[in-house]
Amino acid sequence: MSTPTGSAHERMMRLLHAPVITQALAVAAELRLADLVAEGPRDVKDLADASGTDPGALHRVLRALAAEGVFTETAAGTFAATPLSDTLRGGADSLRDWARLWGLPERNAALGALRHSVRTGQPSFPHLYGTSWWTHLATHPEQAAIFAGAMGDLSRRLHAATLDAYDLSDVSLVVDVGGGHGHLVAELLRRHPRLRAVLLDQPAVVARAAAVLGPAGVADRAETVGGDFFTAVPPGADVYLMSMILHDWDDERAATLLGAVRRAMRDDSVLLVVDAIVPAGDVPHDGKIRDLIMLTLHPGRERTEAEFAALFAGSGLRLTETREVGASTGLLVARPAD
């Protein structure tokens, strides 16, 4: 990580202005501006016509993003793509839906109420809206689609790459616990042609998995199961996988979930957990920022390696290996303790 430049006041101003850039990115993603400039530079009037926006206002957004390296102004009022803007294009390596997620007003309101969470230790989302984030998504399908797409953005690239740290070549059956619409399963099956998978999530969630597994050409090797993973998990798999699941829950609920997984595991089964592994001290880590999102939205949290080990031990599992793969995720390997 490069050392920040400028005076302390200048650096603090950049930190304070970061939410403005985030909202500009969310707007750019929603309007598909990166796709519009993918083939070459375009005049802002042309972009405004294509996106149904006001040319003057759009120019101000593009100018601000270009100053951050997202887009580049090649001539007065003409903007072109950059490697950063390419990450907001639709496609396999896209972060477009992840950016759109930051534009959801209820989510942003919960983050804006961080002070409530700090004072009470409780998530601010139910304080503001009288319901949980998950129940809110269930009743707002358009936002649920953005959330699912954002998780798909991460699963296809980041989480699947994290699992490359573990050798799956001799594995026959994986159960993805809380696997959503199946983006991670689809990527794993694509990478490992001999692998079979079971996707477990709520019935309404896995009902949409066909739209992911079919086009990926892996539907014949994937089974979907609708159910409650706190209660029962399909038994007898070689590998059980939880990708960004445990951080959604407090220690009590996480232990209940791990207990259900442990009951389903054979003595030689393996549990792979993809999650942030928060380091100690001042080390920069994305998990430390995401932990504040968890604080406002969920009863969950990001955890240290020691906290994961304690969770596993209380559920009849033992942590056997930890791999810090990147600044966003790590891989924890657990096996039955007896």
Helical spans, DSSP H, in 102-202: 105-112, 114-120, 124-129, 133-139, 141-154, 160-163, 183-191
Query: How many residues would you count in the chain?
Result: 338
Q: Are 175 and 234 in contact (CB under 8 A)?
A: yes
305 half-sphere exposure, CB direction, 13 A CA radius? 12
CA angle 289, 258, 188 (to 5 degrees): 70
- For 302, residues 6+ apart whose C-beta sits below 8 A from its C-beta are 247, 275, 276, 278, 287, 288, 290, 291, 294
Tell me the two tokens of residue 64: 């601000």
15/245 Cα distance (integer angstroms): 29
Examine the residue annotation and report whether 159 is marked as an active-site residue of this protein: no
CA angle 247, 124, 261 (to 5 degrees): 25
What is the separation of C-alpha 139 from the centre of its chain, rounded to a whole number of angstroms? 21
Specify which residues 324 forms β-bridges with. 330
CA angle 183, 184, 187 (to 5 degrees): 90
Q: What is the dihedral of CA 287, 132, 201, 188, to 10 degrees?
A: -20
Backbone φ and ψ for 132, nearest 5 degrees, come out as -80, 160
Taking alpha carbons only, the member of 191, 107, 213, 98 closest to residue 153 is 98
CA separation, residue 208 to residues 149, 242, 244, 271, 295 (Å): 12, 19, 19, 25, 29
Out of 136, 247, 285, 298, which one is annotated catalytic? Answer: 247
| Active site members | 247
